[in-house]
Amino acid sequence: MIEQLHPRILENKDWATLLFVVTFAVVAMTKSAYETRFSEFSKLIFSDKYAKIYRDNNNLKSSFTIGLFFVQIISFAFFIQLTMHTFGYASKTDWILFIQIATFLLYFILAKYLIEKIVATSFNIDEFADLFNLQKVTYRTYIGVLILPINAVLFYYENIPKVIPLAIIGISLCISLYSYFISIKTYQNAIFSKLFYFILYLCALEIAPYYFLYYWITKGSA
């Protein structure tokens, strides 16, 4: 009896391994170059000391922020793709899909930032908007760095329970809400002095974009 041989199809994970190595290297180099700052940054969820020390909007353009922004994009792109894979919408080893997700995230964040600058200038709240945006970037970056090692583990794990990405999303939302609470507490004087503009700013740029994004994704997958 002749045994029929079937070719074994192997998923290519080399691209992901390379990206994980690069992003972890960026985190390690950032930690080495900014030991004190990174130490305070790592305690962000337990203390608002980092937010108070590095509240100057010049920090938004520092190499510390830019380096970790790269990590943030890669980390979120991996998490989105892994979540899609867990719920049966995509393959976690599809590198073309990863590039599309990462590119979309990059353009979405940068476009949102530019629109915020335009709206802030129109409302004459440039300084407050810059500080508020720095606060958001800081906590968003913190979430990205936090879930990076989780992404690395989940990527090489075959059967990911659906509860894991849902739990991560829930924790991330809690951290985001906490960041808004800290921002409002830190800049309450500036907020209350221009409360009307702040509410318009919040509705137009912090609620509407994510609502329409959610609507677009759910409608597309229906």
Residue with tokens 């609620």: 207
CA neighbor of 170 nearest in space, from 83, 98, 103? 83
CA neighbor of 92 nearest in space, from 164, 148, 170, 158? 158
* Total residue count of the chain as it appears in this document: 222
Write down the pLDDT at residue 9.
41
What is the rounded CA–CA span in Å between residue 146 and residue 82?
Answer: 16
What is the rounded CA–CA span in Å between residue 190 and residue 6?
Answer: 68
Contacts of residue 152, Cβ cutoff 8 Å, sequence gap at least 6: 20, 24
Taking CA atoms, 82 is separated from 18, 90, 144, in Å, by 17, 8, 14
Write down the pLDDT at residue 185.
73
- Exposure string for 87-98, b = 16+ CB within 10 A, e = fewer: eeebebbbeebb
Q: In this structure, are residues 134 and 57 in contact, taking their beta carbons and an 8 Å threshold?
A: yes
pLDDT tens, per residue, the chain with 222 residues = 444 444 444 467 789 999 999 999 999 999 999 998 898 888 888 877 787 777 666 666 778 888 899 999 999 999 999 998 998 888 888 999 999 999 999 988 888 888 777 777 777 777 777 777 777 888 889 999 999 999 999 998 888 888 999 999 898 888 888 877 777 777 677 666 666 666 766 666 666 666 666 666 555 444
Taking CA atoms, 194 is separated from 49, 75, 116, in Å, by 26, 35, 16
Helix ranges restricted to H, 43-125: 49-53, 63-86, 95-123
Write down the pLDDT at residue 149.
94
Q: In this structure, are residues 85 and 13 in contact, taking their beta carbons and an 8 Å threshold?
A: no
Q: What is the overall mean pLDDT for the chain? A: 80
